[in-house]
Structure 1
Amino acid sequence: MPLDPASPLARLIDGPLRTGRVIWIGLRPARRKAMLAVESAQLDPTEGLIGDHYSSRTGGARHVTLIQAEHLSAIASHLGRDALAPELLRRNIVVAGINLAALKGRHFRLGSAVLEATGECHPCSRMEEILGTGGYNSVRGHGGITARVVEGGSVGVGGAMERMPAP
């Protein structure tokens, strides 16, 4: 059942949200291949994240995967590590300063592109392989979100990410 837009909870959910910034971009050139860190990327409504092998295989629901930098620290802590390289989690874009959960079901601007949050990005069984014993459970609840590209554009490291007003 949809939330009444006039309710106090709806007003809180649609309340102010700080603009975030992109701190890392990675492309997966092929299945199980190492991620390639890039300074900028193109996003297309049909193909998704250009250069990423996974982007167009899911009908758009998972064109792009995003994770919060703040969650990298949490995952590292769960693993008993000081830090965690973003490419280990195989997410495309790492952002800082914005709560991705506040984008649920919403459109947001990422650089000059417009995306729609489509769901949570749950860990896969590879997290045990990549991060070691306990890797899967360390990522649970911290895996970020998936998104589809609504309007194409480009994004670069240092670029802004902001939630768009509710329709």
Structure 2
Amino acid sequence: MEGMVEEIYVTSEGSAPMRRVSEVETVAGCGIRGDRYCEGTGYWTSYGDVCEVTLISAEDLDHIEDEFGISVKNGEHRRNLVVRGLDLSSLRGRRFRVGEAVLEYDRPRPPCRHVQDLSEPGMTRALKGRGGICARVVEAGRIRAGDRIEPLG
């Protein structure tokens, strides 16, 4: 039940385009250094709906692109980590290691209208049931593209 980090995306402020990076540094209780929610500049920050780290399945993104013809491969999904080979729902109630960091499942991250406003019509519908998860940073460390994801305990 292992997966791997395929891609990493961050942005320093809410509504700004996500940019792909090869590695990030996590901060316990905050998220990803330099990312909008750790910096307090995310779109949802003022509503108190903050996810420290978001993960989405690469297999779900493949399905969305094939089924709906909607581009989700360049960060349009607005999630931090694109992971392959792991059913994200299997992490519910668990901690898991991603590279040097230990994360803990927080909750599902359903799509919102804001994602569609920043991308293209149909994005919210396409991501329904495939929006990924939120996780908290329990132990800080670096996460790199290609790192394994290992459930703990």
Query: What TM bracket, shorter-length normalisation?
Result: 0.7 to 0.9
CA distance in 2, matches of 1:55, 1:163: 24
1:23-42 correspondence runs (5 A):
23-42=6-25
Q: Which residue of 1 aligns with 2:27?
A: 44
CA distance in 1, matches of 2:74, 2:92: 22
Q: Which residue of 1 aligns with 2:124?
A: 136
Alpha-carbon shift at residue 131 of structure 1 (Å): 4.2
1:78/1:69 CA distance change after superposition, 3 Å: same
CA distance in 2, matches of 1:56, 1:127: 19
1:68 to 35, 57, 68: 57
Higher relative contact order (CA 8 A, sep 6+): 2
In structure 2, stretches of 5+ residues that fail to align are none
Alpha-carbon shift at residue 152 of structure 1 (Å): 0.7
Contact 1:48 1:60 in 2 (8 A): no
Q: Which residue of 2 aligns with 1:161?
A: 149
Contact 1:112 1:154 in 2 (8 A): yes
Contact 2:29 2:136 in 1 (8 A): no
CA RMSD of aligned residues (A): 2.0
Alpha-carbon shift at residue 126 of structure 1 (Å): 2.3
* Rg larger for: 1
* Counterpart secondary structure, 2:5: strand
Q: Write out the 4+ residue segments of structure 1 that deviate beyond 6 Å after TM superposition.
A: 58-61
Contact 1:117 1:148 in 2 (8 A): yes
> Could you tell which deviates more after superposition, 67-76 or 56-65?
56-65
In structure 1, stretches of 5+ residues that fail to align are 1-16
The percent of aligned pairs where both chains have the same amino acid is 35
Contact 1:42 1:155 in 2 (8 A): yes
The normalised TM-score by structure 2 is: 0.87
Alpha-carbon shift at residue 77 of structure 1 (Å): 2.9
Q: Which residue of 1 aligns with 2:66?
A: 77
The normalised TM-score by structure 1 is: 0.80
1:1-150 correspondence runs (5 A):
17=1, 19-55=2-38, 57=40, 62-81=51-70, 84-150=72-138
CA distance in 1, matches of 2:61, 2:91: 19
Alpha-carbon shift at residue 127 of structure 1 (Å): 3.2
Residues paired across the two proteins, number:
147
